[in-house]
A and B are shown apart, each in its own frame.
Chain A
């Protein structure tokens, strides 16, 4: 199966400041990503500062301890037993402080990592709920999830291990460099050249490595996508005996992941040895140049003593060690950066804006609706609605009828601003919905969709989803109105029954009843029912009918249904065909016209149409 990313619809749809995200392979903005990561580090400034101080002191202790050891041994060789004991005392003190700072370092690097990851997850989720429906409709859900879990986890791991060692590395490098320059600027230059060479090699390897790491994360996303799709669509998979096929397909993606991961690892693994080799070349160079300088006449400006070379070599080794350490962690850091890029990609997607600023009290909405010359298409050149016009008076009950795919649900998508119209205007109480804050707009509506959505929470909380402050009495009343109360009471824990994700063992019809109860409780000015009762049996629906009628009283309602009985008493029935209204009027007038509605009606009456 082809990659969902190649979907032309998505190419056209995909918003985002950084242009289309399709070319994932292209090396991206490393500097920008790092900068943004640093900004997260900056948010936990205190931890960061404490960590720095602890690291500084540990580094100092690390430098001091060997010197003290040396002195103690020197004292020993001079048989100065007192001096030795004194040095041992100093050493002991240093050693006692050392663990304290190590402890602090451990705690604060964990705090730092967890703090960064927590605020990153938080930000990411805050964005996620604000992403337009268009985004979730067109992106693989498993892949989105993978960004929130795997990628964030990688960043956490790398920060907790790398930041402290990175800091001490920087301190060591700077310290050593200063000392080296003091010893001999010329040799320091040679040493620096080696570092330059190291950096060059790093950039070279990194270039390849990053490509693999980005690819690895992407395939990981694909693996997760497949897992998500197959596991959540498991019933269908089983119904079609497709388990084996699913396994085969999964295996091939898994193999792809394996191959890429191995390549990424190889590049990551050769980093250390390459650096080590370059360092040793540098070491040799210093020895040679140093040896030459030492052989110059002592009067020469560049002459250095043999002792200096010896000391210098020691420091140059100190100089390169932390850089090696960084190189060894490079793979982890790369994965983290690749992950960060993917996270920022989501964050950079165009969010749903707040909507207009025309304030409105959702409870005071009268419910007059006007669709004027509305044009819309999910894809640029495929209009779904073409010049759609509809006036609904406040309190009217409008039924929308039409063949499947004629654009009925699209009207819901537009009115709720899940999608924005391409042309024309939609008005509520004569105010364009574009001028209204999205939250106010949506609070004035309640929708019941064909695809029921239930959350893993109690039944009561699922019903009160739109109005978290509702009392238990109100919840029960809403369920009684919808008829859901009957089956809820038969459950062991009644309203406190915890629903497993997706609604578990409830039947589709029961799920719809819960969704209807939810809308009843929300008590909106405008009610939208999109095939809300398609899975409810007709007798239950009949019981529901009077409740629904009551529910629709005094509010504007849009009812999309294919059961004519549910819409017959609508004030106005509109018939849509190909994104246009072809007929509108009351049940009787439309029947008298003997048009599309008549045919639909006939087909039902006759039972089976041909």
Chain B
């Protein structure tokens, strides 16, 4: 398995685990012998002195064995937890480098389960393997050797029993194996229902659909339980079948041995020892079979994790460092979302945005406005045509350095847990308190933040649920401003602001952010009529571009939009 490489750095612990296990096993083997001596020689002979001396020796061995056992679990835990921790980090890192298309494919819920549940499974798996495999293996081999050394006939018997046992195990596990993947899938589904309900609680309540959601959940729950039970039923056959073989071989042992004893070729004690070893061997095989279950589970999880790890980011940066962000040129750019061939969101767009320009993009819902800016930051790649920055194709630039110079305020303002200041600083971790306050002031957020119970230190509860839409938007804008970007993109991110506030905001941005290229996506003409140029998108194509006055004169679409906002005698739409 590919994931084993994550264990490599901890090979030392991983190696020490079985080694200390040997200590424990030796103590386990030695202790019964001492105990029988204690009884046979000490107690039966009423020799208190001997009882005490053997007893103390026994305690010492138990103590050492316990020490070995404890360190075994310490080592196993060091190895497996470190392994899991590295794996978790790596998978998270991978998840954080996926393109949007890829996260959409994985779905958020599934990514979350992979990062949590699957990792835990892997950790259990490694820990079990380290501790149990070795122990069972030692017992297994040791048992076979001991038995053969007792009498070759016993070896033959084992030779008969073992293949049957292994075959049965194989059959059952083969049947159970595919079900583990199914279990994970159903778990994904269950989690998905849950996540939607946690996140969409308001809607569920508003439409009084608690019962329906409960029904939906119960269905997923039943399905998961059903699959889990199916697995359990199959696996439940394993242990009785194995014990039949084990027990029959004990009967056979006594019978075979009995014949030998009758013939005077063997001693009774040998049979007893053989029974013990036989039990040990077959028992260890059974333990291994138990572990095969966790291997199957582990494999399902490992596969899901490897999927994430193996996904190479669909969008990778080049090597060119973006030292500054000048002219942005669209050359006959077309774009459609992956998997939606023939449904162009953007069609043949050609446009140059100059440094420091103040460009607005206007257009109907679904006209491709957001897609337009997603190409600049390389959230997606153009499917046709070229997008140039400073005259070089955008794909040549190092992604990090490119995005470092851009700040996008998305339509949906996502806030994170932390204080207000933390959330603004999120845009620029090095920002000083003064810079944060300044950004908040420009974003028209300072006033309401100051009114909060602890000002900038107020904690933002779950995703800003306690804030109004407008407040969230202004915090998002402050978060963008504190980056001091060379290109600031506002993707319809003032929609929840009243016009007065929006006006102040725009004026402040223009005053304070001189030289910054500004791209604004907006609905309201009033918000953008001061812009240098306004691009009107219609059905993915560039319908018109120019300043307010020119467009009013020349573009029918623009006039149409203007009209829709100034219905009945010039009343501006807000």
Contact = CB atoms under 8 A, between A and B. Distances in A.
Interface of A: prevailing SS: helix
Contacts of B495: 531, 534-535
B403 interface: yes
B501 interface: yes
A605 B497 contact: no
Nearest to A4: B417
Interface string A518-529: 100010000000
Given A141-B199, A231-B108, A538 B523 contact: yes
Contact of B501 (A98, A404, A500): A404
A507 B564 CA distance: 21
B530 A608 contact: yes
Interface string A223-248: 11101111111111111111111110
Contacts of A141: 195, 198-199, 462-463
Contacts of B63: 277
A208 interface: no
Interface stretch (B96-104, B135-143, B157-165, B324-332): B96-104
Interface string B235-260: 11101110110011011001101100
A348 interface: no
A510 B370 CA distance: 13
Contact of A562 (B89, B364, B497): B497
Nearest to B85: A258
B43 A241 contact: no
Given A269-B70, A445-B206, A563 B461 contact: no
- Among B47, B248, B275, B466, the most chain A Cβ lie within 10 Å of the Cβ of B466
Contacts of A277: 59, 62-63, 66
B48 A69 contact: no
B536 to A, nearest CB: 11
Contacts of B208: 438-439, 442-443
Contact of B574 (A241, A294, A565): A565
Interface in B159-200: 187, 190-192, 194-200
Given A284-B58, A537-B365, A608-B526, A110 B97 contact: no
29 contacts: A4-B417, A91-B247, A92-B248, A103-B237, A128-B194, A129-B201, A137-B466, A149-B191, A156-B228, A229-B463, A230-B96, A238-B379, A246-B96, A247-B93, A250-B92, A274-B66, A276-B65, A280-B59, A283-B35, A284-B58, A287-B51, A401-B498, A404-B470, A507-B365, A537-B363, A538-B524, A565-B574, A609-B499, A609-B500
Contacts of A162: none
Interface string B520-531: 000110110110
B507 interface: yes
Contacts of A20: none
Q: Which 10 A-B pairs have the closest CB atoms?
A: A269-B73, A404-B470, A106-B236, A273-B66, A509-B365, A110-B232, A99-B240, A265-B77, A95-B247, A137-B465
A247 B98 CA distance: 13
Contact of A610 (B190, B192, B503): B503
B568 to A, nearest CB: 9
Interface in B205-237: 205-210, 212-214, 217-218, 221-222, 225, 228-229, 232-233, 235-237
A76 B261 contact: yes
B416 interface: yes
A121 interface: yes
B43 to A, nearest CB: 5
B410 interface: yes
A139 B240 contact: no
A148 B495 CA distance: 36
B9 interface: no
Nearest to B235: A106
A599 B440 CA distance: 24
Contacts of B117: 149-150, 153
Contacts of B190: 121, 149
A607 B498 contact: no
Given A72-B254, A98-B243, A125-B217, A607 B116 contact: no
B381 interface: no
- Among A229, A270, A280, A283, the most chain B Cβ lie within 10 Å of the Cβ of A280
B479 to A, nearest CB: 7
Contacts of A95: 243-244, 247-248, 250-251
Interface of B: prevailing SS: helix
- Among B31, B427, B504, B526, the most chain A Cβ lie within 10 Å of the Cβ of B526
Contacts of B82: 258
A253 to B, nearest CB: 10
Contacts of A107: 232-233, 236
A521 to B, nearest CB: 10
- Among B52, B202, B367, B403, the most chain A Cβ lie within 10 Å of the Cβ of B202
Interface residues of B, number: 184
Contact of B96 (A148, A235, A243): A243
Contacts of A266: 70, 73-74, 77
Contacts of B410: 235-236, 239
- Among B103, B239, B404, B496, the most chain A Cβ lie within 10 Å of the Cβ of B496
A247 B207 CA distance: 38
B115 A227 contact: yes
B94 to A, nearest CB: 10
B364 A607 contact: no
Given A9-B466, A95-B248, A129 B204 contact: yes
A294 B43 contact: yes
Contacts of B408: 239-240
B236 A103 contact: yes
Contacts of B258: 72, 76, 81, 84
Contacts of A235: 100, 379, 410, 412, 414
A403 B254 contact: no
B429 A245 contact: yes
Contacts of B78: 262
B111 interface: yes
Contact of B377 (A91, A239, A522): A239
Interface stretch (B144-152, B298-306, B418-426): B418-426
Given A229-B416, A231-B108, 15 more contacts: A2-B418, A65-B247, A95-B248, A106-B237, A114-B225, A235-B379, A239-B377, A246-B92, A266-B77, A269-B73, A284-B56, A378-B466, A466-B209, A608-B503, A608-B527
A570 interface: no
Contacts of B104: 500, 504-505
Contact of A250 (B35, B89, B247): B89
Contacts of B89: 247, 250-251, 254
